[in-house]
């Protein structure tokens, strides 16, 4: 590979199957970037000579890690400081150190399974609501994404179109998702109209605990399934056809082929999907907040809403307690993720 050609950044693409017109647009867009990168050649070579390859690694990592440190790590540190201090003030110097008091407030319970016996009952209501949400949502989400991926992997007509259809909700902002469904589930919404048209009595969906819970799961699956379906589809397409052809010759049923071939070969993708889905499910907030506001009562108030309202949105802010809760949530997520990865490693070794 020579370095002399003036080829634009896209020219190295090993699969030059794009239409000429499209490539030229890409070339036009890439040209200024290419020129800039070209102009940087000299200084970079100088810097490499000066700092060695290690210096170059640092250089590549620096911009991203600097932003990262400033806007992710530092706030995390501030959060730790918040969690150990009390008062309603937002700025650290004016807050008083209280030690683990905020954690104690959240964790003090006679019986952790019964929120009513806890000092901060709303926190534990939110915790158990979130557990219930995650348990159902992840299962339904993975099932829907898997079904969709399997169907999109069949030789259906207009597959590109269908892939795009499932991807549409992923492009909408959570607030819009919540708004769209609010207009359907509210007392005077589309769903009740359909009920009336079918001769049934309208139901006040969002004031019913069970329905509100089911719908909160439903809309979050609606909003995210398309994304996970595409990840799974990518995995499915990487499975060589001939394995299935062999199975078909052996008259293996589709269900058996799925269990014996698809599932094991798809496992890496499935793991990514489950981990990501789990993380996002624990953090559920915006779309449900717009739809139910956490109601009826507190039955769809999930952890992120509790933290957001405690630390930020209510008139009486309590940033210490909110920070303690968010750190605990993050901690649980890290443990869950590590456990899942460890489990997979252990399984692979077996």
Partner 1 sequence: MTRSAMNPVAFLTRRRGGKGWHWTDVVTFGWLALSLVMIFGPALWLLLSSFKTPAQLAEFPPTILPYAAQTATVETKTGPKALPLYTVELPDGSSAVMAELNRVGIMANMVRPEAPDDPVKVNINARKPLREVAFATDNYTTPLKQFDFARYLRNSVFVTTMATIITLITNSMAAFALSKYEFRGRNGVMMVIVATLMIPLSVNLVPLYSVVSSLGLMNNLWGVILPTVATPTGVFMLRQYMLTIPDELIEAARMDNASEWQIYWRIVLPLTAPALAVLAIFSVVWRWNDFLWPLIVLSRKELFTLQVGLNTYAGELNVQWQFILAMTVVSIIPVLIVFVFLQRFITAGIAGTGLK
Partner 2 sequence: MKRAYLRGTAIAAALSFATGAYAADEVRIMWYSDGNEGEVVADLLKKFEEQNPDIKVTLDNVSYQVIKEQLPITLEAGDGPDIARVTDLKALADHWLDLTPYLADKAYWDANYGEQADWMRPDGSQAITGFMTQITLTGAFANKTLFDQAGVALPAAGSTWDQWVEAAAQVAQSQQSPAAFAMDRSGHRMSAPILNYGANYIGQDGMPAPVDAGAKAFLTELVGWTEGGQNLKDVWVSAAGASYRAAAEDFINAQIPLYFSGSWQISNFSTKIGDTFDWVAVGNPCGPDGCSGIPGGAGLVAVKYTKNPEAVGKVMDYLASEPVMREFTQRSLFIPSNAAIRAAGDLKYETADPQVQPALDAFNADVKNLSPEANALPAWKWASAYYTALVTRTGQAMAGEMSLDDAFARMDSDIAEQVAQAGQ
Query: Of 175-204, which residues contact partner 2 (CB under 8 A)?
Result: 187-188, 204
Q: Which of 16, 28, 60, 116 contacts partner 1 by CB under 8 A?
A: 60
Euclidean distance between CA atoms 164 and 171, whole angstroms: 11
Q: Which does 190 bind (CB under 5 to 8 A by kind): partner 2, partner 1, none?
A: partner 1
Given candidates 35, 58, 81, 313, which one binds partner 2 under the rule CB under 8 A?
A: 313
Using rule CB under 8 A, residue 312 touches partner 2? yes
Near partner 1 in 298-317, by CB under 8 A = 304, 307-308, 311-312
Q: How far apart are CA 326 and CA 324, in angstroms?
A: 6
Q: Does 239 bind partner 1 (CB under 8 A)?
A: no
With binding defined as CB under 8 A, does residue 86 bind partner 1?
no
- 110 is a contact residue toward partner 2 (CB under 8 A): no
Q: Which of residues 88-107 bind partner 2 (CB under 8 A)?
A: 88-91, 96, 98, 105
14-33 binders of partner 2 (CB under 8 A): none
Q: Per rule CB under 8 A, is residue 11 in the interface with partner 1?
A: yes
What is each CA distance from 103 to 84, 119, 163, 308, in whole angstroms? 8, 11, 46, 17
What torsion do the CA atoms of 20, 22, 28, 33 make, to the nearest 10 degrees? Answer: -110
Q: Which residues contact 323 (CB under 8 A, 6 or more apart)?
A: 79, 80, 82, 83, 102, 311
108 touching partner 2, by CB under 8 A: no
Burial class (CB in 10 A: 0-12, 13-18, 19+), 223: buried
**Which distant-in-sequence residues (6+ apart) come within 8 Å of 58 by Cβ?**
51
Residues engaged in binding partner 2 (CB under 8 A): 86-91, 96, 98, 105, 116, 121-122, 187-188, 204, 206-207, 209, 292-301, 305, 309, 312-318
């Amino acid at each position: 590979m020579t370095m002399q050609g003036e080829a634009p950044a896209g020219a190295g693409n090993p699969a030059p199957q794009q239409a000429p017109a499209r490539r030229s647009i890409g070339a036009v867009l890439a040209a200024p970037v290419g020129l800039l990168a070209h102009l940087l050649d000299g200084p970079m070579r100088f810097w490499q000579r000066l700092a060695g390859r290690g210096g170059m690694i640092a250089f590549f990592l620096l911009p991203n890690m600097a932003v990262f440190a400033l806007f992710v790590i530092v706030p995390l540190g501030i959060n730790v400081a918040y969690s150990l201090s009390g008062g309603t003030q937002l700025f650290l110097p004016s807050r008083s150190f209280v030690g683990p008091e905020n954690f104690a407030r959240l964790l003090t319970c006679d019986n952790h399974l019964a929120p009513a016996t806890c000092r901060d009952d709303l926190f534990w209501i939110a915790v158990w609501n979130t557990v219930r949400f995650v348990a159902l949502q992840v299962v339904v989400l993975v099932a829907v994404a898997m079904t969709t991926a399997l169907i999109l992997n069949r030789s259906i007509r207009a597959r590109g179109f269908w892939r795009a259809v499932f991807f549409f909700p992923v492009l909408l902002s959570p607030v819009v998702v919540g708004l769209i469904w609010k207009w359907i589930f509210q007392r005077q919404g589309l769903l009740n109209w359909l009920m009336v048209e079918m001769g049934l009595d309208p139901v006040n969906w969002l004031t019913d605990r069970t329905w509100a819970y089911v719908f909160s799961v439903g809309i979050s699956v609606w909003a995210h399934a398309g994304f996970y379906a595409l990840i799974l589809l990518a995995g499915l397409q990487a499975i060589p056809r001939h394995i299935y052809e062999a199975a078909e010759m052996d008259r293996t049923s589709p269900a058996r082929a799925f269990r014996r071939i698809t599932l094991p070969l798809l496992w890496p993708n499935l793991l990514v999907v489950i981990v990501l889905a789990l993380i996002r499910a624990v953090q559920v907030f915006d779309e449900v907040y717009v739809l139910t506001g956490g109601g009826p009562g507190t039955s769809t108030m999930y952890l992120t809403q509790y933290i957001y309202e405690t630390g930020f949105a209510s008139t009486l802010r309590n940033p210490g307690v909110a920070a303690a809760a968010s750190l605990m949530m993050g901690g649980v997520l890290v443990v869950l993720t590590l456990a899942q990865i460890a489990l997979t490693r252990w399984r692979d070794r077996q």
